[in-house]
């Protein structure tokens, strides 16, 4: 697995620092709001579990499963919601927790979907933001780090369902996805 990585973009320590900063910002804004934190599976799983343990206030977990990339490096353009939330979001403060905001298609779809549930507020928290690839007008409210237009894997992010278990975020060697 490691031989497929061209270089490390964010080390474990750098990721931890960004997660801690985001946790501090969420604490400042949500400490009294008992928010519903929605983890967008599968990619956000590592980020979510590291983030929530740094929030010293009441909150609820929720999970949605959304995907659009299939097995490749390019989005299919069509987002599939494979699992919805169970919690009644009406009147609740909701924060969607994502690993990466890339074209924006996934979050654009999810935000529209979640708004139909009439939350009191709905914000986006993403560890990574790749604004150069955006295909819809969408900005996250909380961004860990803005990254260049490289295909990244690790810390939950996959290529062909692999590499999610890397503890760092790395750039995949183009040869890996050019000649699978």
Contact 136, 109 (CB under 8 A): no
Q: Is the dihedral of CA 121, 157, 28, 138 positive or negative?
A: negative
> Between 31 and 85, whose beta carbon lies closer to ligand PRP?
85
Q: Would you tell me which residues interact with ligand PRP (CB under 6 A)? A: 40, 42-43, 66-69, 75, 98-106, 158
Report in angstroms how near the CB of residue 68 gets to ligand PRP at its nearest. 4
Chain centroid to CA 139: 13
The token pair at 97 is 């927790």
Report in angstroms how near the CB of residue 28 gets to ligand PRP at its nearest. 26
Residues annotated as catalytic are 102
111: three-class secondary structure by DSSP: helix
Nearest to 2, CA basis, from 160, 180, 153, 178: 153
> Between 115 and 162, whose beta carbon lies closer to ligand PRP?
162
Report in angstroms how near the CB of residue 51 gets to ligand PRP at its nearest. 15
> Between 30 and 159, whose beta carbon lies closer to ligand PRP?
159
């Amino acid at each position: 697995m490691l031989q497929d990585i061209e270089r490390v973009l964010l080390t474990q320590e750098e990721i931890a620092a960004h997660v801690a900063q985001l946790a501090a910002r969420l604490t400042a804004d949500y400490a009294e709001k008992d928010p519903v934190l929605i983890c967008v599976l599968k990619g956000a799983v590592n980020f979510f579990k590291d983030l929530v343990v740094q929030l010293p206030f009441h909150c609820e977990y929720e999970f949605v499963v959304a995907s659009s990339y299939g097995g490749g490096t390019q989005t299919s353009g069509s987002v599939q919601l494979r699992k919805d939330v169970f919690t009644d979001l009406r009147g609740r403060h909701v924060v969607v927790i994502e690993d990466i905001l890339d074209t924006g298609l996934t979050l654009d779809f999810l935000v529209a979907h979640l708004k139909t549930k009439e939350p009191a507020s709905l914000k986006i928290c993403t560890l990574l933001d790749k604004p150069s690839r955006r295909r819809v007008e969408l900005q996250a409210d909380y961004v860990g780090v803005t990254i260049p237009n490289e295909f990244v894997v690790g810390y939950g992010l996959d290529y062909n369902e692999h590499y999610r278990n890397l503890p760092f975020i790395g750039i995949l060697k183009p040869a890996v996805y050019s000649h699978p």
